[in-house]
Amino acid sequence: DVKVTQSSRYLVKRTGEKVFLECVQDMDHENMFWYRQDPGLGLRLIYFSYDVKMKEKGDIPEGYSVSREKKERFSLILESASTNQTSMYLCASTHDRFLHEQYFGPGTRLTVT
Amino acid sequence: AQSVSQHNHHVILSEAASLELGCNYSYGGTVNLFWYVQYPGQHLQLLLKYFSGDPLVKGIKGFEAEFIKSKFSFNLRKPSVQWSDTAEYFCAVRDGSSNTGKLIFGQGTTLQVKP
């Protein structure tokens, strides 16, 4: 079974803090994704990576950055957290982003106060 | 830009009722289609997918979906829902000609099944 894990289920941070969200997958997948999930908006892609040290902007990259130093780990960084970044963050991975489905982690619910 | 629309935002059914959740997408080319489900407190998981072939796709837990190309639709169905089907359901589309392979998700439909 594919396993995608995220470092925290719940996180509370203050405005202006730098926030790191970590995601690890154990299936040697090349492709990893970060989404945010908001009520009524579904999932929106923030960034994705198709190889180590490679990254591509998704649909809503503003205010975020990512890091992929190792194949199994994909980090989402909020350089200076703001209240409008309060959301559920989901990580996903897939072996082949054109042919296969994505496997999701449990999510991190981030609250920025 | 591609978009995915789920018409029903919140559906309430009694057990044993039939279910149909609508999903329409905007792209006219080759698409891959998915339905994901998120049970309360759990991670998103795949219900079923369509890539090619028979447009009627069967998934897990008795769910099925029909791809109707002329209507740009991929509606999810289940003949008889159970209380355990209470969850949020997401339709997603992948542009088959895209060089990113990214998924576009609909807004989600919350299904509440009353026992």
Domain boundaries, given as residue ranges, for chain B: 4-114
Cα gap B75→B93, rounded to integer Å: 12
* Set of chain A residues whose Cβ sits within 8 Å of the Cβ of B44: 43, 90, 92, 104
Chain A's closest residue to B4, CA to CA, is A42
Q: What is the pLDDT of residue B96?
A: 67
pLDDT mean over A21-42: 94
pLDDT digits (tens, 9 = 90+) for B51-110: 989 999 999 999 999 999 999 999 999 999 999 999 999 999 987 666 777 889 999 999
Cα gap B94→A98, rounded to integer Å: 8
- Nearest CB among B43, B94, B101 relative to A104 is that of B43
pLDDT digits (tens, 9 = 90+) for A33-90: 999 999 989 999 999 999 998 999 999 999 999 999 999 999 999 999 999 999 999 9
Over 90: is that where the pLDDT of B31 sits?
A: no
The verdict on a CB contact (< 8 Å) between B42 and A106 is yes
Q: What is the pLDDT of residue B100?
A: 76
* Set of chain A residues whose Cβ sits within 8 Å of the Cβ of B94: 98
Q: Does B106 touch chain A (CB under 8 A)?
A: yes
Q: What is the pLDDT of residue B97?
A: 66
Q: Which CATH superfamily is domain B4-114 in?
A: Immunoglobulins (2.60.40.10)
Q: What is the pLDDT of residue B22?
A: 96
Domains of chain A: 4-112 (2.60.40.10)
Cα gap B31→A112, rounded to integer Å: 37
CA distance B44 to chain A (A): 6
Q: What is the pLDDT of residue A98?
A: 78
> How would you write chain A as a 3-class SS string?
CCCEEECCCEEEECCCCCEEEEEEECCCCCEEEEEEEECCCEEEEEEEECCCCCCEECCCCCCEEEEEEECCEEEEEECCCCHHHCEEEEEEEECCCCCCCCEECCCEEEEEC
The verdict on a CB contact (< 8 Å) between A33 and B102 is yes
Chain A's closest residue to B89, CA to CA, is A42
The verdict on a CB contact (< 8 Å) between B9 and A40 is yes
Q: What is the pLDDT of residue A100?
A: 79
The verdict on a CB contact (< 8 Å) between A44 and B106 is no
Q: Using CB atoms and an 8 Å cut-off, which of residues 62-91 of chain B contact chain A?
A: 90
Q: Does B29 touch chain A (CB under 8 A)?
A: no
